[in-house]
A = this chain, B = another copy of it.
Amino acid sequence: MSNSPPNPDLLSLNTATVREKWNLRQMIEGCARRGIRGISPWRDKLAELGAKEAAKLIRANGLTVTGLCRGGMFPAADRQGRRAAIEDNLRAIEDAATLEARCLVLVVGGMPPGSKDLAGAREQVRDGIGAVLDHARGCGVPLAIEPLHPMYAADRACVNTMAQANDLCDELVGSNGTGLGIAVDLYHVWWDPQLKAQIERAGDKRLLAFHICDWLVPTADLLLDRGMMGDGVIDIPMIRSWVEAAGYRGFHEVEIFSAGNWWRRDPDEVLATCKERHQSCC
Contact surface of A with B, Cβ cutoff 8 Å: 111, 115-118, 122, 149-151, 153-155, 158, 160-161, 163-164, 190-193, 215, 217-219, 222, 232-235
Contact = CB atoms under 8 A, between A and B. Distances in A.
Nearest to A195: B118
Contacts of A219: 151, 222
Given A155-B218, A217-B155, A218-B155, A191 B150 contact: yes
Q: Chain A binding site: helix, strand, loop or mixed by DSSP?
A: loop
A118 B155 contact: no
A198 to B, nearest CB: 13
B116 A234 contact: yes
A154 B186 CA distance: 14
Nearest to A113: B217
Contacts of A155: 217-218
Copies of the protein in its oligomer? 2
Contacts of A117: 235
B233 A116 contact: yes
A88 B149 CA distance: 32
A230 B216 CA distance: 31
12 contacts: A111-B233, A115-B233, A116-B233, A117-B235, A122-B193, A150-B191, A150-B192, A154-B217, A154-B232, A160-B193, A218-B222, A219-B222
A118 B234 CA distance: 9
A235 B154 CA distance: 12
A122 B217 CA distance: 18
A195 to B, nearest CB: 9
Max count, chain B CB within 10 A of own CB: residue among A150, A153, A160, A164: A150
Contact of A149 (B151, B164, B234): B151
B153 A191 contact: yes
B154 A151 contact: no
Which interface residue of A153, A154, A235 has the most chain B CB atoms within 10 A? A154
A-B pairs, 10 with minimum CB distance: A153-B191, A116-B235, A150-B191, A154-B233, A151-B151, A154-B217, A155-B217, A150-B150, A116-B233, A164-B193
Contacts of A164: 193
A218 B193 CA distance: 27
A191 B118 contact: yes
Most chain B CB within 10 A, of A193, A217, A232, is at A193
Nearest to A115: B233
